[in-house]
Structure 1
Amino acid sequence: MQKNGPVALAFNCLVVAFVLAPLVVVCLVAFTPASTLTIPTTQFSLRWFRAVFEHADFMQSFRNSLWLATLSATFSVCLAVPAAIAITRYRFIGRDLLNGLFLSPLMIPHLVLGVALLRFFALIGQTGSFAWLVVSHTVIVTPYVLRLVIGALVGFDRSIEHAALSLNASRATVFWRMTLPLIIPGISGGWLLAFINSFDELTMSVFITSPTTITLPVRMYMYATESIDPMMAAVSALVIALTALTMLLLDRVYGLDRVLVGQK
């Protein structure tokens, strides 16, 4: 094992470099002063970052994505917490079916979901509605919250709740004063993970957005089909920075190692 240690370390470093290299190149290109996709060699410039903030369509799409991710993650928490409590603490007919129903968006390709939702919204006359876009994103991010909340509840010591109930505390009081604070790391971690997935979602959003509800990933896709310039790299660098910041916050709140275990 010790003889293979340096080889394994070198291999891991190469894999990490291979994965991070495209992101590093994109971030470097974002600082180029030129009008083409080139890595700056003599000087760096914030020209294209200023262009992003001056581009009304990109800023509107960013606000759409921010609101969409925030609302979707919040609604997913409201659905996942009671569902996780029911799944982990009670035995009832259809329990496995309920669990599978909530986790099914993880198994269905987002392309299929996008086409199906587009057809459904067309039938009910709600094509292009921001509210239904929020509903769609809530559907695909709820499984992430559910898994983390279930993980928090599985390791929960219920003797605290039993002690409070024996002292005549109501079930509502026990939940709000004891259960909820103890599972907050799982809830907040799930919210952040749902926020990231909703903010970065492209495949499904392409089908169900309208000209007034275009999200940032969809706007980037549309812009890339028309022209390629360093502004795309600047937008990508900003999205990478936002995602990295959110992942760092997720690691501090819940722990990325626990997230990866919970998703298996």
Structure 2
Amino acid sequence: MSDGNADSRTRLALVTGASSGIGQAFALRLGADGYNLVVVGRRRDRLEELVAALPDIEVHPLVADLGTDAGVEVVAEVCERQSLTMLVNNAGVAHYMPFTALPARKASELLHVKVVAPTMLARAAAAGMAARGGGTIINVSGMLAFGAPAPLGKAPGRAVYVATLAHIVALSQALHEELKAQGLQVQALCPGIVATEFHERQGMDLSAVPRMSAADVVTASLQALALGEVVCAPGVERSDLLDAVFQADLAAFGAQGPHLAKRYLTS
């Protein structure tokens, strides 16, 4: 792998969770667009398949488990050292189960993969991007970031997972405000149900449910960057619905005062 003094004309993207699904689709699309790649995942054989599928560019496989502190640190060091043009924080895990039955080990893994890793990798990459005058950070969340009160449906429970997705949206929006003046684009990518291995690994059969392809999710994300969207919802036709959510957030934030609200006053 080249060092941080690589030719500034070379575009380099690091994609986590690249061994399948949306991450794999990102790697294939960006590789076809001429990006050199660092592809991160837990399965070396899958990463080596990407190397073979993209013979015309440099593809560097990096085996790491982002569910651990050690894995996050290894990938963060690469994000800090390399001259990344784009970071795609895609790695995911869900552990759908009742909150009261969720083992501490699985809760910790989920928080590492969907909160600690995207936060720390973005932190590691952002300083270099800002120093170079630009870069893109895509943080993959999901529409459940807006669906905490939604009925569970087939899911036995998903509280921690939903909370991590909301964290990613808030982090991305806040980073956009902080880093846009330094030339960075930050996006929260919020797909709905996607035809990948993700739900199968949770023991959920959604084969009968209409699902978007991972390739279409990537298409939406890259087009949303061109449109300047901070939150990309590939399956939501009316973008004004999302705008209304965020305007309502700001209205509530701006409506606070120093006195106790009347509904909390005792008679």
Question: Normalising by the residue count of structure 1, what TM-score does the alignment of the two structures yield?
Answer: 0.23
State the structure with bigger RCO (CA 8 A, min sep 6), 1 or 2: 1
Return the structure number with greater helix share: 1
Structure ranking higher in strand proportion: 2
Compute the TM-score of the two structures, normalised by the length of structure 2. Answer: 0.23
